[in-house]
Structure formats: C-alpha cells, structure tokens
Amino acid sequence: MTTEPIIQMRDIAKHFGPVIALNGVSFDIRPGECHCLLGDNGAGKSTFIKTMAGVHKPTSGEILFGGQQMHFDSPRDAMEAGIATVYQDLAMIPLMSVTRNFWMGREPIRKVGPFKFMDFKTANDVTMAEMRKMGINLRSPDQAVGTLSGGERQTVAIARAVHFGAKVLILDEPTSALGVRQTANVLSTIDRVRKTGIGIVFITHNVRHAMAVGDRFTVLNRGKTLGTAARGEITPEALQDLMAGGQEMAALEGSLGGTV
Amino acid sequence: MSNTGATVDERIKETSKLRKALIRPELGAIVGTVAVFAFFIVFAGDSGMFNPQGVLNWSTVSAQFMIIAVGACMLMIAGEFDLSVGSMIGFAGMSIAIISVTLGWPVWVAILLTFALCIAIGALNGIIVVRTGLPSFIVTLAFLFILRGFTIFFPQLIERRTIIGGISEAAAGDWLAPLFGGKVGGAFFVWLGDLGVIEVFSRGTRAGQPVVDGIPMLIIWALGLVIVAHIILTRTQFGNWIFAAGGDAQAARYVGVPVNRVKIQMFMFTAFCACVFATCQVIEFGSAGADRGLLKEFEAIIAVVIGGALLTGGYGSVVGAALGALIFGVVQQGLFFAGVESSLFRVFLGVILLFAVILNTYIRRIITGER
Amino acid sequence: MKKVMKTLTVAAVAATAMVSANAAMAEGERYILVSHAPDSDSWWNTIKNGLALGGEQMGVSVEYRNPPTGDLADMARIIEQAAASAPDGIITTLADFDVLSGPIRNAVDSGIEVIIINSGTPEQAREVGALMYVGQPEYDAGFAAGQRAAGDGVSSFLCVNHYIAQPASTERCQGFADGLGVELGNQMIDSGQDPSEIQNRVMAYLNANPDTDAVLTLGPTSADPTIMALDQMGLAGDIYFGTFDLGGDIVQAIRDGVIEWGIDQQPFLQAYLPVVVLTNYHRFGVLPGNNINSGPGFVTADALDLVADLAGEYR
Ligand SMILES: Nc1ncnc2c1ncn2[C@@H]1O[C@H](COP(=O)(O)OP(=O)(O)OP(=O)(O)O)[C@@H](O)[C@H]1O
Ligand SMILES: [Mg+2]
C-alpha cells in the first residue's frame, strides 16, 4: 500500500433530522484496489457512498480528493471530478437503446453549419467497442437496454463509467439481484477494471462475492465503522460475524446447525 | 473467471426483419393510417371527400390536431402531461383579441405578447410540477380551470361579451398575421383552376376563382413543427435528454441530465404549440371566443397515444403522433362524408384508441423483453 | 395481435352497415343542417325532428351536424366540410358572424343555396349571400319580454345564462334589461350547463339578492334547474319567472303558475320551413319574398294544451 489514496473520507457523519444514519465513518480508496464496503441492512452503506458521490452533503467530517479538501454540490460535480456511481436499479433506462443509455448526459456532438446534432455513428461505434472490451457482444447498438440481462446492464453502466474516465467507481450492490453466472461476469468485469488503475468501492451483503475480488474490507454497523482489514488478514467467517454484530450470529448459527 | 473475449450468446434467436419492423413506435399509426384511408376510399370515394375542397378540409382539421399533438407528444415522452392545452388555446386567442381589438395595439404586438405570456404560463406549469413533485395531471388540471375562467372573465369584464371580433380588420396590413392566417401557393391553384383541374366558384364576388385558393399557413406550421420536433427528438443531444427525462428521471439525473430544465422546456414547447394553434385560428376566423379549444387537450393526447407514445413516458415518436392526428382528422371528417351519424364518431374514436393502446402495450413488451 | 385485428374487422363491418343504412335514404335533393349546439343541448331535438319531418314530407334527404363541444371554430370546419360534399342546400345558424361568414360565403359562391336560421340577424344573412333568414331576432324578443315584464311591475331581475359564450344569449338578457329600462349590470350570471350547478348558483344569487323581482332563463337547460331552485327556496309562483324557449318541464311549470310565460321561437319552423322553402325553390323556382320570423310567440297558461302535448318533440 504505497500509493496515495484518491479519496479520503474522514469522520463522516450524516443526520436526517432525528435519524443518525452515519456517525463518524472513515474510509479511503486507492488506485487499482477494490475496497469492499459491507454491512447489514440499514447500516448506512448507501448513505455513505451517496455522500461520496455528491448526492448528500455530510453533516460533519471532511472529504479529501487527491489530498485536497473537496465539497461536492451535486452528483455532476463528483462525476466531473472522476467519481462514477452505478446504482442497482437506477442505472439504465430500459426503453432506450444501449447507445442512448451509454452516452446519456454526455452525448457526442456533430456540427452541421450552425446546428448541433448527436453523432450517432461515433456513439454506436464506441459503444460496441467498449462493450466488446467488457466481454459482451451486442446484437446491435439500437437494442433496447430492456432486452439485456441484469448483469449485462450492470456491465453497460460500468463500461460507461470507465469510458468517461472515472478514477473511482462506486458499485452499490451490483450483484444482489443476479444469478451465479451473471454474478461471475460482473465480478470479472470488476477485476478487469481494477487492473486499469481505477479504484473500486464495492458494496455487497455477500461475503463470498467480497472475498472474490476485494483487496480491503470495511464493515459498517449502525452508522459506525467496525474496522478495516486487508485481504488475508481476515477469514470469511470473521467477516460474516462482524457484519451481523458477532454475538447474535454465532447464536443463530448454532440454532441453525451451522448452515448459514 | 478470466474472460476469453466476447462470444455470441447462443440463446438469442436471430430476430426476423418483420419483428424488427414491428418494434417502432409509429407502426400502429402507419397501419391505422392505411386502414383509415382504405376504408374511406371504399365508402366515401365519390362523396367529395377526395376532391380538392374535401382534401383541404380534412387536411386542415388534421393539421390543427397535429400542431397540438406535436407539443403533447414531446411532453409525454419527457414524462409529463398538459391538460391545460385546450384552455390555453382559448386563453391565447382571447389575449390576442383583447390586446389588438380592445386595446387597439398592432396585431403583431398582440401576437408576440401572447406568445410570451403563454410560454411563461407553460414554464410556470413546468416549474410547479418539477418543484413540488406533484403529478403534472393535477397541476395542469388546475390550469385548465384557471385559464378557462380568465378567458370568460376578462372579455366579459372589459367588453361585456364572450366573443370578441374585429381581428380581421385589425390584422389588415399587419406583417406578422399572414404568417399564421395566410395561404401559400395561391398562383399555383389559380393555374390549376384555369386548367380545369380543380373547380372554380360559379358565382358571387369570387366567381372564376378556384374553390381552393392556397394552402393555409396552419398546414405549413403543422408540417414544420413535425419536422423540427422529429429531428430534435431523434437526432440531437437534447432529444436524448427528453427520452431520458421521461424514461427514468432519477437515472437521468444521476448521469447529469438536467431533467428539470428539460421538463420545463417541454411544458413551454407545449404552450408554444397551443399558442400557434390559437393564433392561426384567431387570424383565420377574425374572432376569439371563450369556448374555443374545449377538450382539445384530450384530442391531442389521443392523437399522441394512437401515434405509439407510452402514457408513462420515455417512448414515442413525433411522426407517429402526426399520423395519429391525421387519423383523428380523417376519421372525424370522413365519417361525415361516408354519411355516418356524427354521434358515432365517438364510438369510432374509442375503438381506435383502444386498439392503439393494446398494440402499443404489445410493442413495448417486445422492446423491454418483459412478458 | 390477431384478436385486435378481429376487433377492428367487427368495427368496420358495423360501420359498413350504418353507412349503407344511411345511403339508402338518399334520393332527391340533399340538405344539411348545421347547428352551433353542443351534443348536450337537448333543445335542438325539436329542430332535428322538424328537419326529419320536412325531409320525409318533401321526399328529400336531410342531415344534421353540430360541433360536439359547441366550439364555433369546429362548426366553421363542419360548414366547409358540408360544402365540400356538394349538397343542394345548407341550413345553418350564424352564431358568430366573424367565424362563420367566410365558410358560408364560400359555400354560397360554389353554388350551394344557404338559409340562415335561429342565430344571427336578417342583415347578416343577406351579407353572407343567404337566400333568407328564419328565426327570432334575439334582442327584439328580449326587449318585448322586458316591456311585458315592466308592465307587470318588475324592476329588477336575474338572467340565468347557461351559454355565455354565445353572443345571442347575452343579447336576450341585454334586450330584456333594456325593455325593463334598467342596467344589465351584474344581473346576468354565467350558470354553466350542469343542472345542479345551475340550481345552486340561482339559489346563491337569490339568497344574496333577496329583493330580486324576476328570473329570466334562456332555455330548458337553465329553466329546469331554476324551477327546482325556486321550489326549494319556496319562491315558486311567488317570484316573477319568464323563460325563453319551451320544454316539458317548462310547460308544466307554466301550467302550475310557476312560470308566467315562455317565449316560443318555434324552432320546429326553423328547421321545417327551410327544407320546404329550399325544395320548392329547387323544384319550381319559387321563393317567399321576405325573411320569416318564427317567433317570438308568448306561451301562457291560457293556450297550453297543444304545446303540452308536443313539448320537446315538435314544440
Ligand atoms: N433520505 C433519508 N431520510 C431519512 N432517513 C434516511 C434517509 N436515507 C437513509 N436513511 C436512514 O439511514 C439509515 C441507513 O440507510 P442506508 O440506505 O444507508 O442503509 P444500507 O446500509 O444501504 O442498507 P441496505 O443494505 O438495506 O441497502 C437507515 O436507517 C435509513 O432509514
Ligand atoms: Mg443500500
């Protein structure tokens, strides 16, 4: 771990009125690593990454980007700085074509006299090429995203983030709704992207998925960090226990005969 | 898990050309247009429906529908409705009449001020919708009443009447009015009349002139709006944003599409279209009435839906909406030529609407792959 | 998909049946009557019946057309469309001169005979080149009614206007006010077309203005709910009540003494006579030398039986 972190989040707290969603969370992400964020439902994972992505403003704490203090006023600011986020359900628009989705918000422009048109030829070619790099062969760039599988949709979103020069890629539960094969595809995509030097924040409930690609693991519980461990420093069982708050899980495990 | 590169998924069947052609929003409207014309050529072919006057008649009515359908279509694709279109038509007409006749200002000033006013009201509609997050259905329903109320109130207050005439006199010699109420191609039609291709008036002050003396600007406006809107929607960045705003506003926001701005601009465009409709009508007929434009908002929405747009937004076609308007106009006028009792128009309309919606649902299922 | 096609086929077949049923009646001259009334206005039933009877007796084919919502711009298109179908004659109302004069003049100029009925004035009819005008001059009718009411000691009134967008409606109220010799001012209300709304607005007005002497309604649409309003307020028979036009409930109310008089413009004649006039003009070239005033006739409790029998049908 010699490289400097791209983003450092220090003592982040976030309150929604009376609800304390985050209560002092610290976290950092370095280039080319996959940092897994684990935790039970309601632990505050989504809230935390939304703070990183500029959707929420932290109640207190600071965000350092490349060593500099940063304030993101909107998701757009964060995106411009190189933080791309892929949300499980809100990533893609099913009725629109893959190309239109891929370029949404940053369409290539072709000028004809005073008029600006969208450059569909470039857009289609780049989309096809980027998707091929991720290991997906599209029938046609006009294909509606609705006809893609869940894993393929995630891949389009990831490919989009990578293409637009993300330095940090945040994936919020990208595998939660996927079957075995599709999960494998997404995990291999994560692996491929990490090798290009992009830092990845990977949120999941599933310890096995985390173990497959993670370099470091941070566990959140009730808005607080329980700790960060590097790969090899912690066993899957220990991680599982941490997530569920240790004690109860052990008890439950006993009563279920060690099946969990 | 190291991937060996892209492989073709063996589970995807080659899609047939036919199925691919089916997956277009306009398909239903194209089929409908052909069916409707076939029907009327058979049943009203010799009734005058397809003589120059008859053609002009249903083209003009269709063009009227088209103008408001284009606005409604863009707005619906952006995920919103505007129920205040009909009231806006009445309001805009009355505004032109009051400014030009009652206040005595030049007609071009009246037209420009009215456009500014209508577009501002459109923006207000949009701002309220995006700021409050209320369904546009409710917000614009409120404006349906507000605008209609003003349209009745002001002329009564000022002129003690609900119809204000005299705009033709006021518009004589105006430079802007002919852009809305004029006709083009007059010389061409005179020539056709002289050749005997089209009939000429047999008596009166216009004896010898052709019965059709030009293409109304209304039709030019309709075609112009359809072409421009179609290009914007399918060929530009902004068009992509319109689809995105209606397809999934949140997803679009996450990637930086200015969804609110897009929606507000679409509300303004819809208001603009309503204002074009009203201006053409007022300049052509020379008067504004408090009951103009009643129920036009639904007619626009029906045309758009027949044209293949989804009521839920994110999908549709301007060309489809234009064809929907054509079907609407041709059926409405054609039933008369075919000698069908006019009250049955509504029955036809209902059947066509149902047919279109069912077809559209089917098409959407193919697109999204849902079952 | 198949099912949908089937639905469409059925619809097409049904339409075909209706088309042929209609076409079978077409023999002799063809006349089209265009009105400005929305579908909801039931008063026009008498016109439809008069038209049908005229067509039957003269052996000509007749059609009735109206803009479904009462939008006069739509009516202009209907007249254009009627002209394009080249009938022998068009019978139309002239509800708004600005909007309708162009299309009517075009019809006249392309060789179609036009008779103006019901709305508009004889002068306007002449101006658009119509053969004649058959109807009741609205302002004059209102004025006559106003004078009559003044003679009965009325000095303030409420005009229930259910069709505020129609200038003729306002003229009736204005004529009545001038006949009384008072300002119209705020004595006219826009009641809308919905019966319970009309009823409640009338009650609200009369509650707010308890010293109103008289009520004037402009047709069954506003008269029927007004009768109910007066019933409910206990003013029926007490307040002076006159109305334009007749209908089933109006006739009953005249009999009951709730309504003093009804101004009958005899709409039957407005549809029936033009058909007769046009047919005779086309067949024998004969034409009455003047416009025909179909009204006003005041219907009071005295001569009510025939009216009562045929109210809403031919009266
Ligand atoms: N906008 C909000 N307003 C109020 N409370 C919120 C808001 N967003 C999140 N919370 C609360 O903050 C807490 C953390 O929620 P968060 O969505 O971050 O959990 P999570 O770890 O992502 O859970 P999951 O695994 O189920 O996705 C929850 O108690 C939630 O109810
Ligand atoms: Mg979450």
Instruction: Tell me whether residue C62 is in a domain.
Output: yes
Q: Is A46 in the pocket of ligand 1 (CB under 6 A)?
A: yes
Question: What pLDDT is recorded for position B25?
Answer: 79
Residues on chain B touching A135 (C-beta within 8 angstroms): 3, 5-6
* Residue A140 in this model has a pLDDT that exceeds 50: yes
Chains A and C touch (3+ CB pairs under 8 A): no
- Given ligand 1 and candidates A14, A16, A22, A87, which is best to mutate, with the most ligand atoms within 8 Å of its CB? A16
Residues C219/C244, Cβ–Cβ less than 8 Å: yes
Domain identity same for C177 and C253: yes
Q: Which residues of A touch B369 (CB under 8 A)?
A: 144, 146-147
Of C12, C22, C83, the CB nearest to B39: C12
CATH number of the domain that C87 lies in?
3.40.50.2300
Q: Give tens-digit pLDDT for B136-152.
A: 999 999 999 999 999 98
Tell me which H or E stretch contains C11: helix C2-23
pLDDT digits over B261-303, tens only?
999 999 999 999 999 999 999 998 888 888 888 889 998 999 9
Mean pLDDT to the nearest integer, A121-150? 87
First to last CA, chain B: 31
Same domain membership, residue C270 and residue C189: no
Q: H or E stretch including A204?
A: strand A199-204
Comparing B304 with C233, the larger pLDDT belongs to: B304
Same domain, C54 and C86: yes
User: Does residue C313 fall inside a structural domain?
Assistant: no
> What is the DSSP annotation of C97-155?
HHHHHHHHHHHHHTT-EEEEEESS-HHHHHHTT-SEEEE--HHHHHHHHHHHHHHTT--
pLDDT at A251: 54
Q: Residue A108 pLDDT more than 60?
A: yes
Q: State the ligand closest to the CA atom of A220.
A: 1
Question: If you measure CA to CA, which chain A residue comes closest to B243?
Answer: A96
Instruction: Tell if the CB–CB gap between B368 and A96 is shorter than 8 Å.
Output: no
* Contact assignment for C85 to B336 by CB distance below 8 Å: yes
Query: What is the percent of chain B where pLDDT is above 70?
Result: 91
* Cis status, amide bond into C296, omega within 30 of 0: yes
pLDDT given for residue B371 in this prediction: 43
A42 Cβ below 6 A of ligand 1:
yes
B288 DSSP β-pair partners: B164
Is C44 in the same domain as C89?
yes
Residue C283: inside a domain: yes
Q: Are residues C279 and C206 in the same domain?
A: no
For residue B281, which residues of chain C lie inside 8 Å, CB to CB? 73
Are C112 and C151 within one domain? no
Q: C26 and C152 share a domain?
A: no
Q: Distance from B369 to chain A by nearest Cα, in Å?
A: 5
Residue B218 confidence (pLDDT) above 90 = yes
Domains of chain B: 26-39+48-179+216-365 (1.10.3470)
Which A residues 65-104 touch B at CB under 8 Å? 75-76, 79, 85, 87, 90-96, 100, 103-104
ipTM score? 0.83
Which chains share 3+ C-beta pairs under 8 angstroms with B?
A, C
**C-beta A117 within 6 A of ligand 1:** no
Could you tell me if A146 lies within 8 Å of chain B, comparing CB atoms? yes
| Number of domains chain C contains | 2
Whether residues C102 and C240 share a domain: the answer is no
Residue A122 scores a pLDDT above 90: yes
Co-location of C276 and C202 in the same domain: no
Mean pLDDT computed over B46-68: 88
pLDDT given at position C254: 92
Whose CA is closest to C293, among C314, C264, C262, C256? Answer: C264
- Residue pLDDT, tens place only, B154-198: 987 887 777 788 888 899 889 999 999 888 888 888 888 888 777
Residue A85 has pLDDT above 70, yes or no: yes
Is the CB of residue A47 below 6 angstroms from any atom belonging to ligand 1?
Answer: yes
CB-ligand 1 contact for A35 (6 Å cutoff): no
Select the more confidently predicted residue: A41 or B111.
B111
Residue among B1, B248, B368 minimizing CB distance to A90: B248
| Rounded distance from Cα A21 to ligand 1 centre (Å) | 6
Residue A259 Cβ inside 6 Å of ligand 1? The answer reads no
Higher confidence at residue B317 or residue A259? B317
What local confidence, expressed as pLDDT, does residue A142 receive? Answer: 86
Neighbours, chain A (3 or more CB pairs < 8 A): B
Strand partners, A171: A86, A202
Q: What is the pLDDT of residue B9?
A: 47
pLDDT tops 80 at residue A168: yes
Residue C21 has what pLDDT? 37
Neighbours of A28 (CB within 10 A): 18
Q: Which one of the ligands is nearest to A40 CA?
A: 1
Ligand 1 pocket, residue A214 CB under 6 Å: no
| Cα B347 from chain centroid (whole Å) | 22
Q: Is A104 close to B240, i.e. CB distance below 8 A?
A: yes
> How close does chain A come to B249, measured CA to CA in Å?
9
C179 and C129 in a single domain? The answer is no
- The mean per-residue pLDDT over the stretch A125-151 comes to 85
Please tell me the predicted confidence (pLDDT) of residue A232. 85
**Of C240, C264, C288, which closes a domain?**
C264
Question: What pLDDT does C1 receive?
Answer: 45
- Model pTM score: 0.81
SS3 B140: helix
Strand order in the sheet with C89-93: C61-65, C30-34, C89-93, C113-118, C132-135, C292-293
Average pLDDT value for chain A = 85
Nearest-angstrom CA–CA distance, C202 and C189: 8
Write down the pLDDT at residue B158.
84
C157 beta partners: C214
Look at residue C302 and tell me if it is in a domain: no
Report whether B307 contacts B73 (CB < 8 A): yes
Atom of ligand 1 nearest to the CA of A50: 18
- C37 and C125 share a domain? yes
**Which pLDDT value is given to residue A91?**
65
- The pLDDT value recorded for residue C303 is 75
Please give the residue range of the domain that contains residue C229.
Answer: 138-264
Q: Is it the case that residue A149 has pLDDT exceeding 90?
A: no
Q: What number is the average pLDDT over the span B313-333?
A: 91
Q: Do the Cβ atoms of C77 and B61 come within 8 Å?
A: yes
Please check whether residues C175 and C85 belong to one and the same domain: no
Burial class (CB in 10 A: 0-12, 13-18, 19+), B269: buried
User: With a cut of 50, which residues of chain C have pLDDT below it?
Assistant: 1-2, 4-5, 13-26
Q: Looking at the domain assignment, is residue C306 inside a domain?
A: no
Is residue C309 in some structural domain?
A: no
Using alpha carbons only, how large is chain C's radius of gyration in Å?
A: 21
What was the pLDDT predicted at A246?
53
Q: A236: which 2 tokens?
A: 């899957």
Domains of chain A: 7-92+168-255 (3.40.50.300)
